């Protein structure tokens, strides 16, 4: 969590620098449209699909102390991933004009903007190849219960963006940001190399297609690839629809999503990454009762942390966006656009966070099919909701890009509830009856925090955004934690104890 928090802070700094340099301009719309495809490949390899299939299988070898078999598996997967991504990138580069005009940004009408998007896409495809190896490195280290370097790797990815903004954008414009993405991917990999060296792994130049473990990873990864692709298609749908909306809509939903992802990464992604090897070990030992208890307590803890973050983003959205982003080319009009999208994205933070944990439980049991099926239904709902709400918002005079964020949040919430029901049946319960008092205490603390923040906004309406937003965050955190202690929420007491014990 500390590592992910550091990465989120660097990500916030990056967002501030990008917003100052480009605001919500047409050229930034082009960058985000091009970056959507590379982000899809990043999330497939460095963000989930590869790790969810590789880590349980690799962990099985480590649990049996078959280190030679483990490193042969890692070598084979590395070679196959490198080969596959290189071929995919070449094909995408060739098809870039068709992809941009028909899939990534069909709403772009300006020829210069279309050409800019094509060029940026071809540049940033280099990062996808690097991320394949880097994503595998994260899985290897996590399987060894080493989480620090993979946790700060996203920060080094954003460092590449920052270096691009500082040194390349002044001379190359938006192309400098594109090359910054490539540099960031290289840094994402390099920071993990020391951890791999300490594991004394042995690389073999083999494909290993005859290796049953390699085929097992492929079997597990195939549906997971579809599952992650489904999630990314949700965002791609939003990109396509936003490209047909007023200028700046695409940039606005990307800024808002980035702000929502920051607490989600610290709270849920960090916990999920750490939980997967543990869940996998419990499954390997056949100790499902222990896994059930681990999953239940993890879900309760993630709810305790994500609920106040969600409420804070919703209630403090305008002062937070203004405080963090409003400078340079990012004016008050940009603040209103981003805050409007953040309202609806922030409402979905709890669903996004719990989903990260639930799907890891399925992966640990080597079931990658169920999340894919449920995710496919959720993707269909997201398309319907996005079109429906953006149209509805436009009809009643609201900015339509807010409907895209609402559609995504609602579809994610439905997906989360469906998978929670299924995992509860798979494990013969989650002890929700025992968890209910803690959940009610968390909801009560969230209600108290909301009332305090509403009062705070009324009392400080004429103050600066630093006071309203900056101090407002502290007011919200303190009020939530105090209310949690009053309502006897278990995590309000356990988290400080665990932190102090960890430091000690």
pLDDT in tens, 236-279: 777 778 878 888 888 889 889 889 988 898 888 888 877 877 88
Which value, in Å, is the radius of gyration of the alpha carbons in the chain? 22
The last residue of one of the domains, among 430, 458, 473, is 430
Start-to-end Cα distance in the chain = 17
Shared domain check, 490 and 449: yes
More confident residue, 504 or 164: 164
pLDDT at 148 over 70: yes
More confident residue, 168 or 376: 168
pLDDT for residue 51: 67
Shared domain check, 471 and 404: no
Residue pair 322/381 in contact (Cβ under 8 Å)? The answer is no
pLDDT at 121 over 80: yes
The whole-angstrom separation of Cα 428 and Cα 23 is 51
* Residue-number span of the structural domain to which 480 is assigned: 437-504
Instruction: Please name which of 363, 194, 153 lies closest in space to residue 278, comparing C-alpha atoms.
Output: 363
Shared domain check, 396 and 471: no
Shared domain check, 475 and 419: no
For the chain, give the mean pLDDT.
Answer: 86
Structure tokens at 402: 């807010």
Shared domain check, 201 and 125: yes
The last residue of one of the domains, among 371, 397, 430, is 430
The whole-angstrom separation of Cα 80 and Cα 209 is 9
The dihedral built from the CA positions of residue 35, 41, 278 and 286, taken in this order, carries a sign that is positive
pLDDT per residue over 270-328, tens digit each? Answer: 888 778 778 878 887 788 888 888 888 889 989 999 999 999 999 999 999 998 888 87
pLDDT for residue 50: 67
| pLDDT (mean) for 221-236 | 70
Residues 6+ apart with CB under 8 A from 285: none
Structural domain tally of the chain?
2
Shared domain check, 453 and 425: no
pLDDT for residue 49: 60
The whole-angstrom separation of Cα 428 and Cα 426 is 6
Shared domain check, 255 and 150: yes
pLDDT for residue 411: 92
Residues 6+ apart with CB under 8 A from 213: 57, 61, 69, 72, 73
pLDDT for residue 227: 67
pLDDT for residue 305: 92
Shared domain check, 249 and 114: yes
| pLDDT (mean) for 88-114 | 88
pLDDT at 355 over 70: yes
Shared domain check, 345 and 464: no
DSSP 367-410: --HHHHHHHHHHHHHHHHHHHHHHHHHHHTTS-THHHHHHHHHH
Instruction: Please name which of 111, 110, 78, 116 lies closest in space to residue 96, comparing C-alpha atoms.
Output: 116
Shared domain check, 486 and 347: no
Residue 204 is given by DSSP the state -
pLDDT for residue 48: 57
**Of how many residues is the chain composed?**
504
With helix as H, strand as E and coil as C, how does 44-74 read?
Answer: HHCCCHHHHHHHHHHHHHHHCCCHHHHHHHH
The last residue of one of the domains, among 430, 458, 492, is 430
Alpha carbon 75 to its chain centroid, in Å, reads 27
Shared domain check, 215 and 185: yes
Alpha carbon 225 to its chain centroid, in Å, reads 16
Shared domain check, 390 and 299: yes
């Amino acid at each position: 969590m500390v590592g992910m928090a550091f990465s989120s802070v660097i990500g916030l700094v990056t967002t501030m620098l990008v917003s100052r340099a480009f605001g919500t301009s047409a050229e930034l719309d082009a960058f985000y449209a091009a970056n959507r495809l590379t982000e899809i490949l990043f999330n497939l390899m460095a963000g989930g699909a590869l790790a969810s299939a590789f880590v349980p299988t690799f962990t099985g070898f480590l649990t049996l102390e078959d280190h030679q078999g483990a490193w042969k598996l890692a070598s084979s997967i590395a070679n196959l991933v490198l080969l596959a991504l290189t071929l995919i990138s070449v094909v995408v580069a060739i098809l870039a004009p068709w992809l941009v005009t028909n899939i990534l940004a069909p709403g772009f009408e300006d020829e210069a903007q279309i050409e800019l998007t094509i060029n940026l896409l071809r540049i940033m495809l280099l990062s996808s190849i690097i991320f394949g190896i880097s994503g595998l490195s994260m899985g290897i280290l996590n399987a060894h219960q080493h989480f620090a370097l993979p946790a700060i790797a996203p920060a080094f990815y954003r460092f590449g963006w920052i270096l691009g903004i500082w040194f390349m954008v002044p001379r190359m414009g938006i192309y400098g940001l594109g090359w910054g993405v490539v540099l960031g991917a290289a840094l994402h990999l390099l920071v993990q190399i020391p951890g791999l060296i300490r594991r004394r792994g042995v690389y073999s130049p083999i494909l290993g297609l005859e290796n049953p473990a390699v085929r097992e990873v492929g079997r597990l990864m195939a549906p997971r690839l579809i599952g992650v692709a489904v999630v990314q298609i949700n965002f791609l749908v939003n990109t396509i629809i936003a490209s047909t909306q007023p200028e700046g809509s695409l940039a606005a939903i990307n800024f808002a999503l980035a702000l929502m992802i920051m607490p989600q990464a610290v709270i849920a992604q960090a916990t999920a990454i750490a939980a997967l090897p543990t869940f996998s070990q419990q499954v390997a030992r056949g100790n499902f009762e222990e896994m059930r208890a681990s999953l239940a307590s993890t879900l309760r803890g993630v709810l305790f942390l994500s609920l106040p973050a969600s409420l804070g983003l919703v209630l403090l959205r305008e002062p937070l966006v203004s405080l963090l982003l409003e400078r340079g080319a990012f004016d008050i009009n940009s603040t209103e656009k981003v805050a409007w999208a953040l309202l609806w994205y922030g409402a979905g933070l709890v669903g996004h966070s719990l989903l990260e944990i639930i799907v890891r439980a399925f992966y640990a049991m080597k079931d990658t099919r169920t999340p894919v099926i449920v995710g496919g239904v959720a993707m269909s709902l997201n398309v319907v909701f996005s079109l429906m709400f953006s149209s509805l918002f436009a009809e009643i005079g609201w900015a339509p890009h807010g409907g895209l964020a609402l559609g995504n949040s609602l579809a994610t919430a439905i997906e989360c509830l469906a998978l929670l029901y299924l995992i509860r049946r798979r494990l013969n319960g989650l002890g929700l009856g025992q968890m209910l008092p803690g959940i009610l205490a968390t909801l009560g603390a969230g209600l108290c925090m909301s009332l305090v923040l509403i009062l705070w906004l009324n009392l400080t309406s004429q103050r600066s955004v630093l006071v309203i937003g900056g101090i407002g965050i502290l007011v919200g955190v303190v009020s939530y934690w105090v209310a949690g202690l009053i309502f006897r929420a278990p995590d309000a007491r356990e988290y400080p104890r665990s932190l102090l014990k960890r430091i000690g």
